[in-house]
């Protein structure tokens, strides 16, 4: 089950920012338009799920590490066995797909895809936040890309595989246009290259339960 909570972030001149899960974009709107009953329907939101203040569900980061050169063996080490080669390849491919196809791989669609893929898994993995963080970090170093959007989606997928509920948050560094996405489980972000999620004001939280 996925519960989407959202808010609008007021700015000056009676304007505010709203994130649309349906279009995967953040819009600058007038406050009057942002508070109409039509807007949530158009943007793929529910009016009843709007909060005046949307708190960040992440309280800490499990693993923090700077981006390094591609290191393929690290991914196999993080998964713990040579027989995981196919799974390593699949995770890297999935990360690249999320990175290159953001319009198609919206957060809502990706969550539905992740649930379908998890149902195909024969067994769950006994992972906690640190194990998931190690795998995500290894995938990034393997593909040679470090980007918040595919990182958050891959983390959510691995949380579902591990049987863990998680929350994908999208925030903005107001008043700039800089966006950031992060996934947390139990209040912990498994892996982030730098502790910077607290710079961003959350606009939407996808609460993903088992």
pTM of the full structure: 0.88
Residue 201: CA count within 13 A, CB half-sphere = 17
Q: Which residue carries 């560094």 as its tokens?
A: 173
**Residues of the chain above pLDDT 90, percent:** 44
SS3 185: strand
For 10, phi and psi rounded to 5 degrees?
A: -65, 140
For 172, phi and psi rounded to 5 degrees?
A: -130, 145
Residues 95 and 89 sit within 8 Å (Cβ to Cβ):
no
Which pair of structure tokens corresponds to residue 91?
């995770």
Residue 22: other Cβ atoms inside 10 A: 12
> What is the pLDDT averaged over residues 91-97?
92
pLDDT computed for residue 204 by the predictor = 96
Considering only residues 148 and 80, tell me which one the structure prediction assigns the higher pLDDT: 148
Residue 166: other Cβ atoms inside 10 A: 28
pLDDT in tens, 10-31: 887 788 899 998 888 888 888 8
pLDDT in tens, 107-121: 998 999 889 888 887
pLDDT computed for residue 176 by the predictor = 83
Which pair of structure tokens corresponds to residue 187?
């209040």
Instruction: Look over the chain and give the mean of its residue pLDDT values, rounded to a whole number.
Output: 86
pLDDT computed for residue 79 by the predictor = 60
């Amino acid at each position: 089950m996925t519960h989407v909570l959202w808010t609008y972030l007021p700015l000056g001149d009676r304007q505010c920012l709203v994130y649309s899960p349906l279009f995967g974009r953040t819009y600058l709107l007038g406050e009057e338009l942002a508070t109409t009953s039509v807007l949530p329907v158009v943007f793929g939101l529910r009016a009843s799920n709007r909060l005046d203040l949307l708190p960040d569900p992440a309280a800490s980061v499990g693993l923090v590490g700077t981006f390094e050169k591609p290191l393929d063996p690290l991914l196999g080490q993080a998964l713990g066995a040579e027989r995981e080669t196919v799974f390593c390849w699949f995770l890297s491919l999935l990360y690249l797909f999320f990175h290159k196809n953001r319009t198609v791989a919206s957060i809502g669609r990706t969550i539905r895809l992740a649930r379908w893929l998890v149902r195909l898994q024969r067994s769950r993995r006994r992972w906690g936040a640190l194990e998931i963080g190690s795998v995500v970090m290894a995938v990034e170093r393997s593909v040679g890309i470090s980007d918040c959007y595919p990182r958050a989606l891959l983390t959510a997928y691995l949380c579902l595989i591990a049987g863990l509920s998680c929350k994908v948050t999208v925030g903005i560094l107001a008043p700039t246009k800089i966006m950031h996405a992060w996934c947390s489980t139990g209040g912990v972000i498994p892996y982030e290259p730098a502790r910077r999620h607290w710079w961003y004001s959350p606009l939407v939280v996808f609460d993903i339960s088992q």
